[in-house]
Amino acid sequence: MAQDVKSQDAKSQLAALLQQALSGVAPDAAETPIHLERPRDPTHGDFATNLAMQLAKALKRNPRDIAQQLLAALPASALVSKAEIAGAGFINFTLDAGAKTGVVKAVLAEGANFGRSTQGGWQKVQVEFVSANPTGPLHVGHGRGAAYGASLSSLLTFAGWDVTREYYVNDAGRQMDILGLSTWLRYLDQHGVVVPFPPNAYQGDYVREMAAQLRNAHGDKYLRTADAVLAGTPGLPEAGRADDEAKQQRELHLDALIARAKELLGPDWEYVHQHALNEQLADCRDDLKEFGVEFEVWYSEKALYDTGLVARCVDLLEKKGHLYVQNGARWFKSTAFGDEKDRVVQRENGLYTYFASDIAYHLNKFERGFDKVINIWGADHHGYIPRVTGAIKALELDSDKLQVALVQFAVLYRNGQKASMSTRSGEFVTLRELRKEVGNDACRFFYALRKSDQHLDFDLDLAKSQTNENPVYYIQYAHARICSVVNQWGGNVAELGDANLALLNSPRELAIASKLTEFRDVIEAAARDLAPHMIAFYLKDLAGEFHGWYNAERMLVDDVALREARVALATAIRQVIRNGLAILGVSCPESM
C-alpha cells in the first residue's frame, strides 16, 4: 500500500520506508541506524544511504547484494520516483516532483515555525558569552563574541533547547580597581591636582567623562593633594623602557596608587569604584541591546565572594585532596587533570585568585541544574580549558556537560590598515562606532560568516556596499524582491496553500524546493556543531537560487494557476529567509 507523502518531511518518510525494508531483510539488525545524506552531485539523486554497507559485516554478504534486497523489500510509495544502486553499495533515491514541491505547503502552513526542531529535547542549556570586563566600551573584537553567542542561543532555541543567555560580570578584582583609580586620577587632574598618569591605567576619553560626572555631582569632595597620593609609592621607570623589570615596576606603582586611593578616600573609595563600574556596565548593556543582544542573567563575580561560594569551593577541593600549600599559598593540582602546571587558588596574603572565583562560578552553574553549559571564550583562552575542566572533574561533576566554543577576534581593516583595540590605551574602535558606520545587519551577518574559531578580517568597504558581492545585501535583496512580487500580485497569501504546486516542474523550481527541504537539516547540523555560520551560508545559497530563478522566469505570468504556484514558491522562500535571518539577528527589509 502506498505511503502518505504529506504526513511528514521527505527525509523522515524515506527513513521510515527503509526501516520497513530493513526489518524484512535483516530483522536481527533492525536497530541499525539509518543515515540519509544529500549527494554533492545532484545527478545522483536527492538522498543516498550507506545502509547496505553498514550491514555487510554483520550479514557477511556483499553490500550490493544487500542493497538489491533492500530495494526489493522497499514498500511502494509515491515519494520515490527512482531508486538505484551506486558504487560499492550506496542506494540513491530520486524523489517524485510532487514530493519535492510539497515542502512549499509545509512552509506556508508553519510560517515562522518552519525548520524548528525538537533535537534539544527542551534540555536546559546555559550559554555564557561576551563577559568582557566592564572597564571600557565594547570593541569590535567583543562584537564578534556577542554576535556569535546571540546567534548560537537563538539557533539552539530554534532546535529545541531551553536556553539561558548569561553575562558574567567581572566586578571584583584588580581590573576594576584600576578603572576606579583611573577615574579618580582624572578627577584630580580636572581640579588642577596633577599626578603623573600611569601608562598602564585606562586612558580613554570615557574615563575623563566619568571623572567629570564625579566633579559635577560632588565638587571637590574627593580631592586630595598630589603629595598625599604619591606618598610612599615606588617611582616609574623612564618612559620607553619595555623590558620585564620596567613592566613590573609600572605594575607595582599602579598597585601602590590603588592602595593609596583606598587609604585616602576611605569609605568614599567604594562610591568612586561603584560609579565607574555602574557607568561602564550600563554602557555595555545599552550597546548590546542596540545590537540586538540581550541576556536573561547578569551574574556578578562579587556575589561569589559575598555568598561565600569561593571559600566553600576552595575548601571542597581541599577536602577532596586536590590542594597543597607551598610558600604560604594554596595550589590546585591542575597537572593531575592534564594541565601544564599547577595553579594558585589562594595567595599567601589570603586573597583568592581569579581562577578560584572561576571554579566557584562553574560550580554554581552546575548547582543551578543545567544539562549543558556552553562557555564562549576568546581564542586566547584556549589554555584555560584544561584547568577549568580539571577543576570540574576534581569537584566530581560531569565535565562532559561543559562545552567551550572559542572565538577569534575580528580584525577590522580601515583604509587598508589594522585598527588597534587596546582598552587600556583607549586607542580602539568601539562596537558602537562600527555599528554606526556599517549598520547592525552588516555587523551581525559579517560576524557570522566564518566559523567562530577561524580568523575573521572585517571588510568595511564590502559591508557597506550595495552589490551582489555583499552577502547580507544579496539575501535581503532577495527578500525585498519577493515582497515586491507579492505586492504586485495582490492576492491573499493565506490562500496560497491551495495553489497547484504540480505546475512547479522546471529544474530551477525543483532545485529551489529541494533547497527549502534542507533547512531543518541545516538547523540541526548547525545546532549540533555550535555553528550558526552554516545558516549564513545556507541563506546565501538560497538567495542565489532565487535570484537565478527570478532572472530566468516571469513570476506573474498570465496563467492564473501557474502564477499562484510561483508566488507560493516565492513566498515560501521569503519565509525561510525570514526564519534564518531571525536566528542571525538580521532584519528583513521589504524594500531596498
Q: What is the DSSP string of 148-207?
A: HHHHHHHHHHHTT-EEEEEEEE--SSHHHHHHHHHHHHHHHHHTT---PPPTTS--SHHH
End-to-end CA distance of the chain: 51
Report the share of the chain in percent with pLDDT over 90: 82
Query: Cell for 350?
Result: 589570603
Lowest mean pLDDT among 1-10, 40-49, 417-426: 1-10
Q: What would the pLDDT profile of 119-153 be if each residue is shown by its tens digit?
A: 999 999 999 999 999 999 998 889 999 999 999 99
pTM for this predicted structure: 0.89
Q: What is the model's pLDDT at position 334?
A: 95
User: Residue 4 — pLDDT band, cuts 50, 70, 90?
Assistant: very low
Can you point out the beta strands (E) in 207-322? 297-300
Domains plus CATH for the chain?
Answer: 10-95 (3.30.1360.70), 129-294+410-464 (3.40.50.620), 307-407 (3.40.50.620), 467-584 (1.10.730.10)
Decide if pLDDT at 226 tops 50.
yes
As a whole number, mean pLDDT of residues 46-71 equals 92
Q: Which residue stretches of 36-139 are H helix?
A: 51-59, 63-73, 97-110
Residue carrying C-alpha cell 556569535: 148
Residue 26 DSSP label: -
pLDDT of res. 7:
34
The pLDDT tens digits of the residues spanning 253-296 come to 999 999 999 999 999 999 999 999 999 999 999 999 999 999 99
User: Is the pLDDT score of 420 beyond 80?
Assistant: no
pLDDT for residue 421 is more than 60:
no
**With bands split at pLDDT 50, 70 and 90, how would you rate the model's confidence at 2?**
very low
Q: Give the three cell numbers for residue 159.
A: 532546535
Q: Residues 546-550: what's their mean pLDDT?
A: 98
Among 155-159, 426-430, 459-463, the range scoring the smallest mean pLDDT is 426-430
165-217: pLDDT as tens digits: 999 999 988 999 999 999 999 999 999 999 999 999 998 899 999 999 999 99
- Residue 99: per-residue pLDDT: 81
> Are 128 and 104 spatial neighbours (Cβ–Cβ below 8 Å)?
no
Q: Please enumerate, as own/partner, the contacts of 311-320 that have beta carbons within 8 Å and a separation of 24 or more.
A: 311/352, 312/360, 313/356, 313/359, 313/360, 313/363, 313/395, 314/345, 314/346, 314/352, 314/356, 314/359, 314/360, 316/363, 316/395, 317/345, 317/359, 317/391, 317/394, 317/395, 320/394, 320/395, 320/396
pLDDT of residue 5: 32
Distance, in Å, from the CA atom of 547 to the CA atom of 271, rounded to the nearest integer, reads: 59
Tell me, what's the pLDDT at 413?
A: 80
Maximum distance among all Cα pairs of the chain, rounded to whole angstroms? 96
* Neighbouring C-alpha atoms within 13 Å toward the C-beta of 64: 5
Q: Residue 558 has what pLDDT?
A: 96
Q: Which cell goes with 17? A: 520506508
Distant-in-sequence, close-in-space partners of 61: CB < 8 Å, separation ≥ 6: 55
For residue 45, name the pLDDT band (cuts at 50, 70, 90). Answer: confident
Residue-level pLDDT at 318? 96
Any idea which residue has 512547479 for its cell? 504
Tell me the average pLDDT of the chain. 93
pLDDT for residue 424: 54
Overall average pLDDT of the 396-417 stretch: 90
Rg (CA), the chain: 30
Residue labelled with grid coordinates 570540574: 392
pLDDT of 423 > 60? The answer is no
Q: Compute the distance between CA of residue 427 and CA of residue 350 in angstroms, rounded to an integer.
A: 36
User: 327-365: per-residue pLDDT in tens?
Assistant: 999 999 999 999 999 999 999 999 999 999 999 999 999
pLDDT tens-digit readout, 9-28: 788 889 999 999 999 998 98
